[in-house]
Amino acid sequence: MGKPTGFLEFDRRGNPGQPPLERIRHWEEFHPMLPEEERRRQAARCMECGVPFCQSGVELGGMFTGCPLHNLVPEWNDLTYTGNLNQALARLIRTNSFPEFTGRVCPALCEAACTCSLHGSPVTVRDNELAIIEAGFASGAAGPRPPKVRTGKKVAVVGSGPAGLAAAQQLNRRGHFVTVFERDDRPGGLLMYGIPNMKLEKRIVRRRTALMEAEGVEFRTGCDVGRDVPAQALLKEYDAVILCCGAKKPRPLPPAEGIRGAYFAVDYLTAATKALLDGAPPIDAAGRDVVIVGGGDTGNDCVGAAIRQGCRSVAQLEMMPQLPAERADNNPWPQWPRVCKTDYGQEEAAALFGADPRRYQTTVKECRTDGDGALCSVVTVRLEAGEENGRRVMAEVPGSEEELPCGLLLVAAGFLGPEDYAADAFGVGRDGRSNAATVPGGYATGAARVFAAGDMRRGQSLVVWAIAEGRAAAREVDEYLMGYSGLE
């Protein structure tokens, strides 16, 4: 432990953020990193606990807390404090394939479980992680690591989101020949098109995929497996197939179906990114009153994107009640804190329009159009909690309707699992939640030589969980191909 009194001497200081009214003028990331001296102080706050809950990755109170990758957090915090960044990088990438992604977009389950947060502020684990990997890229220490020996085995990975990339990286480094099939025009999956640029710049995704290509991974874009590419062609050419197709079937909002001016959030965010990268026409919020249905991360990303496009107003509707500002007595540390958090998009809306855009216990009841059939307003309704057949439900409050001007309605109400066609093409069954069914505790499907991982297997989740799933699936595939595995 490099600094036994660090947590007593130094206050938490995260990476600074540009003021909201400045950062909404551009689409770049807006959290510059701290100077190295201050970063070392932040790493010194780590207590190197005898039982480091930060790396536990366990379920408590119905939610996970601690890192699902079981990152060696106290070790690389200590190495950062002592200035041994190359050694810190070696420990970091032993468990985390892509710290440059999790260091930007992960909600930091590790910090929620940090012992320092029991009576104060947690260690800046996520920022420290990002500093280590970016220093590694700057110095060249995070360069390509191609395998020295090839096994002759070939693996196809379908989908290039975080699960697919993690599986491909691990299997390639083991020495297998790996080809990643991606239906979009660029690899990255949701990292490329589901997360807006100001949260994860696309040069960061390109940097990683270019590094993987230098290590020997082949990417084939514009290949829609199950439609353009037959499943049997992959099974004939490859020794194993891993399906990492995500959970991209959006949850519909019935009043918005067939309405001109209503879009699913993932389509809106994809168009916004393609407009930045290629100059393609966006689904434009400029000059429009925007209503977003969904209070999660995707809804918040839509708020930030709409503001940058120049929307006239923005409202974000959340069906559930507002969470408390502080932990309730039945939500003790180290459980994930069920508290109300204000994210960057909501901060920007408050700064620009003078109020938090969120409206709780509210949803859209009706969409109204003008004489040309274009959306012009929505009718919202308040909701209250009730019970139906022993289950909690949110029911309409009679007489609580309110009409809001709306020229663009974005549905960010979550997902219902993977799209069917890829799994169907390989004869993969479904579980009770419509996800790809695998053996209990494993990644093998009922179809011979076909495995599944990531959101396609576990349902809509976090990038860090997708990476963990991809790595675990790679180990299982490696064992299947070779009879044993040294992958972690």
Phi (first) and psi of residue 154, to 5 degrees: -120, 135
**How confident is the model over 412-417, as a mean pLDDT?**
93
Average pLDDT over residues 446-454: 98
347, containing H or E segment: helix 344-353
Contact 275, 313 (CB under 8 A): no
Domain spanning 6-139: CATH superfamily: Alpha-helical ferredoxin (1.10.1060.10)
* pLDDT given for residue 389 in this prediction: 82
By CB atoms closer than 10 A (0-12, 13-18, 19+), residue 170 is buried
Q: What is the pLDDT of residue 444?
A: 98
Residues forming CATH 3.50.50.60 domain(s) in the chain: 154-248+416-482, 254-411
Q: Give the integer Cα–Cα distance in Å for 234 and 92.
A: 34
Is the predicted pLDDT of residue 2 greater than 80, yes or no? Answer: no
pLDDT score recorded for residue 481: 98
Q: What are phi and psi of 176, to 5 degrees?
A: -80, 155
Percent above pLDDT 70 for the chain: 100
Q: H or E stretch including 353?
A: helix 344-353
CATH fold of the domain at 254-411: FAD/NAD(P)-binding domain (3.50.50)
Q: What are phi and psi for residue 302, nearest 5 degrees?
A: -65, -35
| Per-residue pLDDT tens over the stretch 110-165 | 999 999 998 899 999 999 999 999 999 999 999 999 999 999 999 999 999 999 99
Q: Of 349, 407, 348, 414, nearest to 374 (Cα)?
A: 407
User: For position 1, what pLDDT does the model report?
Assistant: 63
Residue 475 pLDDT exceeds 70: yes
**438: left (phi > 0), else alpha (psi -120 to 50), else beta?**
beta
pLDDT tens digits for range 209-251: 999 999 999 999 999 999 999 999 999 999 999 999 999 999 9
Q: Which token pair is 92?
A: 């970091």
What does the pLDDT average to over 378-407?
93
Helix (H, G, I), strand (E, B) or coil at 171: helix
For the domain with range 154-248+416-482, which CATH number is right: 3.50.50.60, 3.40.50.2000, 3.40.50.1370, 3.40.50.12780?
A: 3.50.50.60
The residues, any chain, with a CB within 8 Å of residue 210's CB and separated by 6 or more, are none
Amino acid making up residue 93: I
Mean pLDDT taken over the chain = 96
Per-residue model confidence (pLDDT) at position 404? 98
What is the reported pTM? 0.96
pLDDT for the residue 139? 97
Distance from C-alpha of 277 to C-alpha of 163, rounded to nearest angstrom: 24
Give the model's pLDDT for residue 460.
93
Which residue intervals of 219-321 are DSSP H helices? 231-237, 265-278, 297-309
Per-residue confidence (pLDDT) for residue 386, from 0 to 100: 86
Q: Is the pLDDT of residue 285 over 90?
A: yes
Query: Which part of the chain is CATH 1.10.1060.10?
Result: 6-139
Q: What percent of the chain has pLDDT over 90?
A: 95
Q: What is the pLDDT of residues 40-59, one digit of tens each?
A: 999 999 998 989 999 999 99
